[in-house]
Amino acid sequence: MGTPARSEARLRGGAGIWFRPAYIRFPLGERLLPVPGALPGKMAAQQPLRVLALAGFRQSERGFREKTGALRKALRGRAELVCLSGPHLVTDAAGAEGAGPDSEPCLPEEQPRGWWFSEQEADVFNALSQPTVCRGLEEALGTVAQALKKLGPFDGLLGFSQGAALAALVCALGQAGDTRFPLPRFIILVSGFCPRGLGLKEPILQGPLLLPSLHVFGDTDCVIPSQESMQLASRFTGAITLTHSGGHFIPAAAAQRQAYLKFLDQFAE
């Protein structure tokens, strides 16, 4: 028998390229320190970081929770994901991100949803075209603002695909002074891209975003090509990129798990 193939994450940040996440040094290299008064040799119990996770287009809330199950397990005790799907029902579920069409009526949390549409008359979205409209974007921003207010506070944001584009926009608006969106301590963007189209306040995304960011994308992603995710990463100062050999999904194998934890260790208290 041959030697089994070993999954290896490739992480890049700043000017260097590193392999084997166990030996990566990150920007803002904060480390967990003993709490004054704690017993010698003991660390105070950590509270998990709270992360608002924004689903992709045509993902239901339940479906997104299921698709992030491996990641939530990998981050258990270190980070808690609160999943949120878009406000708009997507009437045609064919081609859903990570799910097939529903053949039977489903519960509200199982209905495919989106954050906004790129056509006026059809419930569709194309991340790679230049749309004439971004129908439903303001409602999407309102949904995130309401979640931050009612379900927060959150330490960070995570977004997948269209949810990643929205998370980046939310941070840009917060940095520009929009009080609905207090800046998180960090952001994790998986299969992200720079949003296009009228109404997106695109100039806001041209300037550098000044918060720690981890950008995760696959070499064989046919939905959001890797160059799209790299372009989004370029909008963040000190961005760290984590690539994998797969496609359009949230990776959570052992190599990626270690990289996630290394990134999150900066924010442990």
Name the residues annotated as catalytic. Answer: 161, 221, 248
Long-range contacts of 124-129 (CB under 8 A, 24+ apart): 124/92, 125/57, 125/162, 127/161, 127/162, 127/165, 127/193, 127/196, 127/223, 127/224, 127/228, 128/193, 128/224, 128/225, 128/228, 129/196
CA angle 64, 123, 59 (to 5 degrees): 5
Task: Give 236's strand partners.
Answer: 209
The span from the first CA to the last CA of the chain, in angstroms, equals: 46
**Side chain identity, residue 84:** L
